[in-house]
Amino acid sequence: MADTRPRLPEWFRTSLPTGELQRKFKETKATVTDNMLHTVCQEARCPNIHECWAAKDATFMVAGQECTRGCRFCAVGSIKVPPPLDENEPANLADAISTMGLNHAVITVVNRDDLPDSGAAHYRKCLEAVRERTPDVTLELLCSDLAGDHEALHDLLNGLELEVFAHNVECVPRLDSKVRDHRATFEQSIGILKEAKRLRPEILTKSSLMVGLGETDDEITEALQLLKDAGVDLVTIGQYLAPSPKHLAVDRFPEPERYDEWSKQIEEMGFLGWACGPLVRSSYKAGELLAKASARLRTGKE
């Protein structure tokens, strides 16, 4: 059978780093290879790995390799009853981040609906272990929706040293039932983001939208406003790409100029930081995004 998936537009190209950035990327790659470390950057074949590793950013996934949910856009495998949590994972994660000499680390997670707290206690142990081992590394947690459990969220965030709490709404509200697992909704995700900001207003909150799933431009604008109303500080928008023919098909490829327009909207709405582009992913240049947002905050207070 012929592959009927749409071809990628010509602007889907990445440029390799040169000079000092190339040296830093190769240094990070060698460290990962020599120490047999595992990152989401490699395993997801992220198109931005050269830029992020050159900036000493990397993303790691904890709590297992398979998810208890089955969202129709995601390449992560689905399982009803995952293996038990790895008690050594916090220490191993801390070792990996220390060995890589990172400036910023993103810790992402799989959904663990099989656990009473959706894995919140384990996520906290991982972050605390990294903070103790590498206190100068800025940390970003790309969290699940914790099944909407605000008590679990409180236990996770209470007193935790964290720069960014992220949770992705993924798509516009109308497409929830088409794109996401039935246990995930825009409303539940917004509730987690809003509660995180209420519990820890000093921690920056972040979310991400994919385009090319069947949404309209007006719906993207409306979703952005809902995120702003929830107190979200940072936002990213990127192109959805189907991991396989079995996943949702791509509906459209907005041109780069459209992303520029979204960036302008986001700035006018008052977000502290944003990244918009065809190849942007939720962790794209996460450390740089945090640094720019922190600078805007300092400027605003002066």
Express each pLDDT in 66-97 by its tens digit: 899 998 888 888 888 999 999 999 999 999 89
Report CA-CA distances (Å) from 190 to 83, 187, 280: 29, 5, 21
How far apart, in whole angstroms, are the C-alpha atoms of residue 232 and residue 214? 24
User: What is the per-residue pLDDT for 58?
Assistant: 85
- Domains in the chain and their CATH numbers? 19-301 (3.20.20.70)
Contacts 24+ apart (CB under 8 A), 37-44: 37/96, 37/99, 37/100, 38/96, 40/106, 40/108, 40/283, 44/75
Q: Does an H or E element contain 189, and which? A: helix 186-199
**What is the DSSP-derived secondary structure letter of residue 11?**
T
User: What is the per-residue pLDDT for 300?
Assistant: 74
HSE-CB at 93 with a 13 A cutoff on CA atoms is 31
**At residue 119, what is the residue type?**
G
Question: Could you tell me the end-to-end alpha-carbon distance of the chain, in angstroms, rounded to an integer?
Answer: 62
pLDDT < 50 regions, the chain: 1-2, 37
**At residue 16, what is the residue type?**
L
Structure tokens at 12: 């889907």
Q: Does an H or E element contain 142, and which? A: strand 138-142
User: What is the per-residue pLDDT for 274?
Assistant: 96
**At residue 108, what is the residue type?**
T
Best CA proximity match to 205, nearest among 161, 239, 235? 235
User: What is the per-residue pLDDT for 5?
Assistant: 60
Best CA proximity match to 291, nearest among 140, 108, 190, 127? 140
- Angle formed by the axes of helices 256-269 and 217-229, to 10°? 30
User: What is the per-residue pLDDT for 12?
Assistant: 65
- Angle formed by the axes of helices 217-229 and 186-199, to 10°? 30
Q: In the chain, what are the helix, strand and coil shares in percent, each to the nearest 5?
A: 40, 15, 45
3-state secondary structure of 239: strand
User: What is the per-residue pLDDT for 1?
Assistant: 45
**What is the DSSP-derived secondary structure letter of residue 117?**
T
User: What is the per-residue pLDDT for 76?
Assistant: 84
